[in-house]
Amino acid sequence: MSDVNSQAAETSASAEVQTETASMQGNWVESAVNSGSQRHVQINVPVLGILLGYDEEGAPYISHDYSDLPHIKALSTVKLKEDDIDQPVTLIFNQGDASKPIIIGVIQEPAFEKDEEPLVLENEHGIELKCGQGKIVLDPTGGVFVQGSTINTQAYGTNQLKGGVVKIN
């Protein structure tokens, strides 16, 4: 019985974790270092990482300064695009575990941009704007549909309706 108790005490002693606190990138990161060869990092603040790419199922891979691994599979709360590869991303971690990153945003460059050109939305499958009962649909064939409980047009100049056939009522 004393052998079991001494083995349990040794196992307990080897599993003890020392906690170190360091200021990194202006944020506090607590890292817990096992007495063995493995390192476990506890991160309770957002950190920056890099989006490296996607696997065949579309899951993102990232890297960050607090992991020894070259890439880590991540979850994401935002839609990511092919253009986001090699861009900095903001990460939080599931239960603070540095090996379980969650992407919460892609850092935008530049963060502030003057509106000197019109906003252009482009999609080969169409665009639909909805608000309540109103909607505007642009379809890929060039059709424009405006639908709502009331539709008003107002012009400070001429208000023109042009078409091969113009139907009113």
93 and 130: one domain? no
pLDDT tens-digit readout, 97-120: 888 999 999 998 776 767 778 888
Cβ-based burial of 86 (10 A; exposed 0-12, middle 13-18, buried ≥19): exposed
The token pair at 124 is 């080969």
pTM for the model: 0.50
48 and 98: one domain? yes
Q: Which of 20-34, 57-71, 91-105 is the least confident region?
A: 20-34
6 lies in some domain: no
pLDDT at 4: 43
129 and 51: one domain? no
* Separation CA 146–CA 164 (nearest Å): 18
> Range of 21's domain?
17-106
The token pair at 45 is 């603040």
169 lies in some domain: no
48 lies in some domain: yes
What is the tally of structural domains in the chain? Answer: 2
87 and 34: one domain? yes
